[in-house]
Amino acid sequence: MPFRFFGHQSEAVWGLIGRTAAVAALLEDHLVVMLQLLTLSDQTSFSKLSPTRLCELLAGEAPTDDPAWDKWDAWLTDVGRVLEERNEVVHSLWPAQAGNRRFAHRMDRKTGRRVSLDTTHEALVARLTELSDVTTEAEKWKALAGVEAARRRLMPPATKEADGAEDAELRARAKRSSWRKDAWIITIEIPPGREDVYAGLRDGSVLAVLPRRTKVESVKATMIALLQSHVLTDAEDDRYDFVVGEAPYMPQGNAVGRHFELHYPGLPVIAAIRADARINDGELEWRAKPWPDGVSPEDVRRRRREIGGNKNP
């Protein structure tokens, strides 16, 4: 890069600008995916919207009856602020300065005036740290959005009759869907004591519900995508290991059925099990074949350990 562009600018400055751009791009991708999940849209939807518009649309999509979403609006406000600060860093010119001073200027497209930023390297690092913290929190919201999307796919359509009904049973039926037979329930198996590492997911959290006609290869591809999005791994494709068969899935404790487990060294297990699913009183509920008489989940866990972990007992 010619010296006349910016002078002898520190490599630390270029590294900071690059990291800011990369982390912000990840955050924007999270926003798009969450809006697609919450609106039950396909993977091409909302890709051309600005972050500001994405936040506006997301603000109206949070469930109003779930306390887990209480801080949603506050988080979206933080998103808007850190992405605006990203613009100051990424879209500015950075001439070299002496010592620890950092100076940048750019043309403000809204006012047509040139604006400047006079700061220090430590202050810019603090901005990047806050951007990273907000992006880390996005992983939790993405997990919640996946569960809410599964609930909305199964939720029966509301009717005016049910909305205004005085009869308690009629109101209850409005919150309960019929069983969706033989769906794919994709869940995650979090090791004990590791819940805080994986964006607040719990052992057995439902990440997605796929229709029964979903092809097996699509189920596997979805499982890999969920593992990558929730754990943020750059795992190599040839190290993924699928275990397939008629086998029990541990977190639910009393379910046996045809299922897949996706294993990767050092990461949580993602499982897709065939089961009936429905919404009951606003909550996702699913069922599979019961354990055979005389067999408990503890028996199966012990047998799995005896024969070597991933093998089908």
pTM given for the model = 0.59
User: For the segment 236-294, what is each residue's pLDDT rounded down to a tens digit?
Assistant: 767 788 776 544 444 343 444 557 788 888 778 888 887 777 766 656 677 765 555 66
Q: What is the pLDDT of residues 92-139, one digit of tens each?
A: 888 888 777 888 888 887 888 888 888 888 999 999 999 999 998 888
What is the spatial distance between Cα 60 and Cα 301, in angstroms, rounded to a whole number? 43
User: Using CA atoms, how far apart are residues 204 and 192, in angstroms rounded to an integer?
Assistant: 11
249 within 8 A of 255, measured Cβ to Cβ: yes
Q: 204 — alpha (psi -120 to 50), left (phi > 0) or beta?
A: left
Instruction: Please give the angle made by the CA atoms of 225, 44 and 90, to the nearest 5 degrees.
Output: 85
Q: Residue 269 carries which side chain, given as an amino acid letter?
A: V
Is 96 strand, coil or helix?
coil
